[in-house]
Amino acid sequence: MLDIKFIRENKAIIKEAARKKLLDFDVEALLEADNQRLKLVGEVEKLRARQNEASHRIAKVKDEAERDELIEQMKDVKTLREGKEEELKQVLETWKSLLLKVPNIPDISVPEGKDDSENQQIKIWGDRPKFEFAPRGHVELMTNLKLADFERGVKVAGFRGYFLKNEAVLLSMAAWQHAMKIALEGGFVPLLTPVLDRPENFMGTGYLPDGEEDLYKTQDGDYLAGTAEVPTMGYHFDEIVPADRLPYKFIAFSPCYRREAGSHGKDTQGLIRVHEFYKVEQVVLCEASHEESVNWHEKLLANAERFMQDLKIPYRVVVNCTGDLGQGQVKKYDIEAWVPSEGKFRETHSISYFHDFQARRLNTRYRDSEGKLRFVHSLNGTLVASPRILVSLLENYQQADGSVVVPEVLRPYLGKDVIK
């Protein structure tokens, strides 16, 4: 959400942001609703003032006939005020719904494009393995090594269901542990977050009102979070946080649930796209400064890159184009890991910053050095998501005999060098 004053003064910029992000948003409709809101607020306030003034006059009038006449006049004013208040209520609903759909403005450094095919590579790291055999896909590797049971996963959980088994479980837990180690060394505060969260948190982070089709909703009206970003951002919902404690740095672990409603027919086999998974997520709240947001964006990316480099998995970094940004994102990096069986890079991490887009919706503020209330800036970024990370890990470390070498940095967690 953006400041309505800024929107009024910069409607051309808002229109351009919507065009670049390929979002259907009518800024003129919002401004018209805002004009109606302001007009009705003024009318209601005047009618309330008339009622208050009349109440004081009635209290002082001693003539009964005059008092009755004033009371009758005020009944008409009250009826008019109540009608205007009802009209204002309806206008406010329209105004708020439109305000929640305002797109955030992409950074000037973000390339314009229609979708992820137009994201721009800015870095590539690591040597891709050169096999003297046809590399096996992760489904074949995991099935042969008894690391997963996809058939029973579907039987129990339905489409995209899976069971991880044996060393795959230990590898996942090792990846989580190593990610936590990186974050804790950087002074991040660990959180184990609730997954069942109230709608306000999804509204605040921008996953509602649009995006509901990708969420699992309970019979009580709550939702299952698709990322620990949601509850972690809600942690300071409607709070004024101490400025001297900024930046807040959280490293949050949670199971995640996504319906993948818009992914019909994509990655129907294996672990690339599943309905439930686990993620270690970085979340930062910092002061309201573009430079501070950019600084932390690069730091969160560096943490994610360190994780990949520690595992020695070849990857590339792309900056997402405007058409591949969400409504609230100012800029986003993706890390994509090399998948030998497919001969291409696949996304494993996303790192984004939002300026005060989320904080406005969540009403998370602090007082600056002059005592003025400001909305914090927010950022988030994957440190590891499992089981997706197992796809590139297993495929890049596979051997000719079908075994898989354990990345050196994870061996202390598994107690072995090779899975066979």
Question: Is 306 one of the catalytic residues?
Answer: no
Q: Which of 254, 378, 388, 395 is catalytic?
A: 388
Rg (CA), the chain: 27
Question: Is 258 one of the catalytic residues?
Answer: yes
Q: Is 382 exposed, middle or buried (0-12, 13-18, 19+ CB in 10 A)?
A: buried
Sheet of 248-257, strand order: 120-125, 315-319, 331-339, 344-353, 377-386, 276-286, 248-257, 189-192
H helices present in 195-242, as ranges: 199-205, 229-234
Q: How far apart are the first and last CA of the chain?
A: 52
Q: Which pair of tokens denotes residue 72?
A: 């009758």
Q: Which of 81, 258, 360, 361 is catalytic?
A: 258
CA distance 324 to 331: 10
Query: What are φ and ψ of residue 124, in 5° steps?
Result: -135, 140
Q: Which of 67, 273, 316, 374 is catalytic?
A: 273
Question: Is 48 one of the catalytic residues?
Answer: no
How wide is the angle at C-alpha 333 spanned by C-alphas 242 and 257, nearest 5°?
75
Question: Is 50 one of the catalytic residues?
Answer: no
Return the H-helix or E-strand segment holding 373.
Answer: strand 373-375
CA distance 120 to 117: 9
Question: Is 293 one of the catalytic residues?
Answer: no
CA distance 380 to 329: 10
- Please identify which residue in the block is written with the tokens 């008894």: 146
DSSP 370: T
Active site residues: 258, 273, 347, 350, 388
